[in-house]
Amino acid sequence: MNRYIAHIALVVRDYDEAIQYYVDILRFRLVEDTVMSETKRWVVVAPSDDEGCALLLAKAVTEEQLLRVGNQTGGRVFLFLHTDNFQRDYEHLVAHGVEFIRGPVEEPYGTVGVFKDLYGNLWDLIEPKDTSLYETPYIP
């Protein structure tokens, strides 16, 4: 059986501000932006061209959903962005106003720093010591 997580929904305030942040600041690529209705779009961004999990940017429309923007996990780190060059990405993010709340620090598994995205979601930026983690998994 071949299964994998294709997307993780990230609740956002506005499609266009979220696209701008994830593409221009985090340097993700815009995979898809399809209008579904007058109020709904299918917006997918991904950190690289490789196959793997991508973010589905889901616009909050109800009061309850708006309350979750930036706090989908109750203040815990939510997403983990692996990089092949921590220092390069750290310097880029800091230069673009991204707030790091912890690190960078060296851990047994690699270099890590915790940052907030534009909504306040917490992310780990990690350069793993085990570079085999960059091998693309088999996805049919």
> How do residues 36-51 score in pLDDT, each as one tens digit?
998 899 999 999 877 7
For the chain, what percent of residues have pLDDT higher than 70? 93
Rounded to the nearest angstrom, the gap between the alpha carbon of residue 90 and the centroid of all alpha carbons in its chain is: 14
With respect to CATH, is domain 1-65 assigned 3.10.180.10? yes
Mean of per-residue pLDDT scores for the chain: 91
Indicate the pTM of the whole model: 0.86
Res 52: pLDDT: 82
Token duo for residue 14 = 């506005």
Res 103: pLDDT: 85
Q: Are 26 and 89 in contact (CB under 8 A)?
A: no
**Parts of the chain belonging to CATH 3.10.180.10:** 1-65, 70-132
**pLDDT tens-digit series, residues 73-126:** 998 999 999 999 999 999 999 999 999 999 899 999 999 999 999 999 999 999
Count CB neighbours of 9 within 10 A: 10
| Residues sharing a CB contact under 8 Å with residue 93, sequence separation 6 or more, in sequence order | 25, 26, 100, 115, 125
| Fold of domain 70-132 | 2,3-Dihydroxybiphenyl 1,2-Dioxygenase; domain 1 (3.10.180)
Res 138: pLDDT: 41
Closest CA to 93 of 76, 117, 69: 117
